Amino acid sequence: MTTLVEPAADTSGPSVADWEAAVAAVHGLPPEASVLLVCHVNPDGDALGSMLGFTLGLRRLGLPRLQATFPGPLEVPPPFRGLPGLDLLVPEADADPDPDLLVCFDAASASRLGGLVDRLDRAGASIVLDHHASNPGFGGINLIDPTAAATSVVAEQLLTRLGVPLDAEIAECLYVALATDTGSFRFDMTTPAVHEMAARLLATGISPGEISRRIFDTRPFGAIRLYGDVLQRAQLEPDVAGGLGLAWTYATLDDLTRYEQKPYVLEALIDSVRIAAEADVSCLVKQVRPHEWAVSMRSKGAVDVSLVAVALGGGGHRLAAGFTGRGTIDEVMAAIRAELAGLDSGG
């Protein structure tokens, strides 16, 4: 059987010079400097938690002009509405167009910043914090660590270098970020260092049980019925990916409307698809608007799904990646199968 994993990408993290430049950029700000913190469109727990935790850290440093935002409507999914620091969020339209410092979180490419991307050129300085191996390094200072389990790992390391001590509010944000991107500490990126970081965060007095119930275990009843419909149409294609198998399903806007649900409730469904024993690759395709789909892909280890995502205009990690698909569901899935076949053939 053909193994589809490509040679490992460069996994080196930020250099000493990178860390020093980031620290200097923050500590060198004048007292009334404007700092704009941004994360990617439709933020997940890592993007939002890392950004808010770091923003709270900057507030502890005494910086008075802080704004946090993300592209699109300023709508925080219900599981994250209890996070500390939400008072620092502003709508995209109100974000400073010319900040002294721009700090970006968890965006694998500049395009993920949507209408905020112009701030990269207009800011006095920019720092990118990320852990996606596909990130090209689009900031003035790039703190990109593909070995990190979450962007929050990079954020905590920078806060430490800035001399910001952890408190319960910062810790809760970073814990949510770390827990979501490690799948509640179940994924392969959960290293001893990840547990050590979790221990530091828990030592501030935050409650992991209460946080987990809010983030992972609380959804509207309508979402349960929606899950039934979406999983009922799941398909298994054992011959795809060189015989390693593909399991996939999709959700439409009509599905959401039928059960009066918001798109965020679909995020966890990829985990229900990926458990299929017969498939290394799993895929959840979520309709965003007519002829546009948000595609989430997962691998159990044999297939590098980031290669598929990058080829189709997205990005991510070897075991978890995504992209925006356009066309019909049949056309999106045909594109995925073609890329998987290309990996199998060495194309």
Is the pLDDT score of 120 beyond 80? Answer: yes
Distance (Å) of CA 244 to CA 153, 272, 276: 32, 18, 12
Residue 343 pLDDT level (bands cut at 50, 70, 90)? confident
The helix/strand/coil state of 226 is helix
- Tokens representing 163? 């001399």
Contact 114, 38 (CB under 8 A): no
- What residues does 34 pair with on adjacent strands? 65
What's the predicted TM-score (pTM) here?
0.89
Q: How far apart are CA 249 and CA 311, in angstroms?
A: 21
| pLDDT band (50, 70, 90) for residue 30 | very high
In the chain the first and final C-alpha atoms are separated, in Å, by 17
Question: Which pLDDT tens digit goes with each residue over 53-77?
Answer: 999 999 999 999 999 999 999 999 9
Q: Judging by beta carbons within 10 Å of its beta carbon (0-12, 13-18, 19+), is residue 343 exposed, middle or buried?
A: buried
- pLDDT tens for each residue of 321-339: 999 999 999 999 999 999 9
Q: Is the pLDDT of residue 345 over 60?
A: no
Say which amino acid occupies 208. P
3-class SS of residue 126? strand
Q: Both tokens of residue 120? A: 């990269």
| Structural tokens at position 277 | 């024993």
